[in-house]
């Protein structure tokens, strides 16, 4: 959290529209992929020169320009000057801490989304900001530069000319990219759902300190997902019900389907969030029940020894005929018995996982 505040402080006092990269520091070059297509043909190329993007500004057909890396200020400035993008849009593109939103600039639409992926190494989620600029014949997608994305299926459909994507316009391409991002949310939620179910079993059967850490970890993950998903409903609703001429009526039908998926995702996130919140109560109840069982056993042991200790306390073991007092090994044997009893009890408590 302090890191984000420190990053945002870079813009303190600067005028609106000043381009400052806010996000993870990167040094690599921006990778640009250009896919130009229509119903009959398509071309694909990779480059690191922004000048090649200018060639497709007024070209017929649909052009999808994907840029991985938003940390080069001069590159985005030149791109904005060529395509007439507002400086506030470019400013938002470089700010990777944006809330999902949609803005209509008449000549183009600006959309911000969060692309989520499941991290198998730590069981959490990775988030990457995706900015889309949708024009009459082009779609720009800006990625932070994290390795990989969820657009592989879209690229393959364009290359193989499967479905209707090559026959539709830029608005349908934008819908396809949004749909791919939203569909991947289900994959992330399935993985997290498996962790929630496994954690529930652990809480009931064998609650440990590590279990409490897992609960807090999942709780933070659900808060993170909620921040990424809840604004998405407003974004899709604005695209579907907006009055922009850039989104045709035929595409709005598909956006309505994405809106339904978004509602399902929100419901799932809320269900998981409530479940994880209730896990803490279950954990405390399980720990309390376990402590009660331990106290029950210890109370039985103490109760057995209470009368024995009482009798020994009254007489003080001061009997005239005590053969053990005459043994040469009586004293070492006494300590041996004491240590054996103490060691046995420690082993017993450890096997019961009471220590």
218-244 residue pLDDT tens: 888 888 888 888 899 999 999 988 888
Q: Using pLDDT thresholds of 50, 70 and 90, give the confidence band for residue 2.
A: very low
CA distance 336 to 344: 12
**CA distances (Å), origin 242, targets 187, 207, 235, 239:** 29, 51, 10, 5
247 and 345 share one domain: no
Range of the domain at 355: 319-355
Specify whether 207 is located in the same domain as 345.
Answer: no
SS3 178: helix
Within 10 Å of residue 86's Cβ, how many Cβ atoms?
15
Give a yes or no: residue 53 inside a domain.
yes
Mean confidence (pLDDT) of the chain: 84
Query: Is residue 314, in this structure, part of any structural domain at all?
Result: no
Considering the chain, what percentage of its residues have pLDDT values greater than 90?
25
Residue 292 lies in a domain: no
pLDDT band at 6 (very low <50, low <70, confident <90, very high): very low
Please count the structural domains in the chain. 2
Clarify whether residues 33 and 182 are in a common domain.
Answer: yes
Residues 128, 100 contacting (CB under 8 angstroms): no
- Of 284, 307, 329, the residue that ends a domain is 284
**Pairing between β-strand 124-134 and β-strand 109-119 as defined by DSSP bridges:** antiparallel
Contact 73, 86 (CB under 8 A): no
Within-domain flag for 342: yes
- Would you state the pLDDT for residue 256? 93
Give me the residues paired with residue 134 across strands: 109, 139
Own/partner pairs, 197-206, CB within 8 angstroms, 24+ separation: 199/279, 200/275, 200/279, 200/282, 203/279, 203/282, 203/283, 203/286, 204/282, 204/286, 206/353
* Nearest-angstrom CA–CA distance, 236 and 224: 20
State the burial class of residue 41 (Cβ atoms within 10 Å of its Cβ: 0-12, 13-18, 19+). exposed
Kindly report the backbone phi and psi dihedral angles of residue 21, in degrees, each rounded to the nearest multiple of 5, phi listed first.
-75, 125
Mean pLDDT, range 152-164, rounded to an integer: 88
| pLDDT digit string, tens, across residues 27-56 | 678 888 999 988 788 888 888 778 888 877
Start-to-end Cα distance in the chain: 36
φ, ψ (nearest 5 deg) of residue 66: -105, 125
Asked if residue 155 belongs to a domain, the reply is yes
Are both 55 and 185 inside the same structural domain?
Answer: yes
Instruction: State the CATH number of the domain containing residue 32.
Output: 3.30.460.20
The mean-pLDDT minimum among 182-196, 203-217, 239-253 falls in 203-217
Task: Write down the pTM of the prediction.
Answer: 0.79
């Amino acid at each position: 959290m302090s890191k984000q505040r420190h990053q945002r402080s870079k813009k303190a006092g600067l005028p609106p529209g000043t381009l400052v990269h806010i996000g993870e520091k990167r040094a690599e070059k921006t990778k640009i992929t250009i896919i130009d297509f229509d119903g009959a043909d398509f071309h694909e190329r990779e480059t690191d020169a922004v000048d090649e993007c200018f060639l497709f500004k007024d070209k017929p057909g649909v052009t999808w320009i994907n840029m991985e890396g938003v940390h080069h200020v001069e590159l985005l400035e030149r791109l904005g000057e060529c395509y007439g993008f507002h400086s506030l849009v470019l400013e938002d593109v470089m700010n990777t801490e944006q809330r999902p939103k949609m803005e209509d600039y008449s000549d183009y639409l600006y959309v911000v989304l969060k692309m989520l992926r499941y991290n198998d190494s730590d069981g959490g989620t990775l988030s990457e900001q995706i900015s889309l600029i949708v024009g009459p014949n082009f779609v720009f997608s800006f990625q932070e530069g994290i390795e990989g994305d969820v657009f592989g299926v879209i690229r393959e459909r364009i290359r193989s000319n499967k479905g209707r994507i090559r026959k539709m316009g830029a608005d349908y391409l934008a819908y396809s990219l949004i749909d791919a991002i939203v569909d991947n949310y289900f994959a992330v939620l399935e993985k997290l759902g498996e962790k929630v179910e496994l954690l529930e079993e652990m809480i009931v059967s064998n609650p440990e300190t590590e279990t409490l850490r897992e609960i807090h970890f999942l709780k933070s993950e659900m808060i993170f997902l909620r921040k990424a998903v809840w604004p998405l409903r407003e974004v899709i609703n604005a695209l579907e019900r907006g009055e922009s001429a850039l989104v045709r009526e035929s595409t709005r039908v598909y956006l309505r389907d994405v809106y339904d998926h978004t509602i399902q995702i929100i419901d799932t996130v809320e269900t998981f969030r409530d479940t994880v919140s209730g896990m803490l109560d279950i954990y405390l109840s399980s720990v309390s029940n376990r402590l009660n069982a331990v106290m029950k056993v210890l109370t039985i042991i103490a109760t057995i020894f209470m009368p024995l200790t009482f009798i020994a306390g009254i007489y003080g073991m001061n009997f005239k005929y005590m053969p053990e007092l005459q043994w040469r090994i009586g004293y070492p044997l006494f300590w041996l018995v004491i240590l054996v009893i103490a060691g046995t009890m420690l082993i017993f408590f450890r096997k019961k996982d009471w220590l």
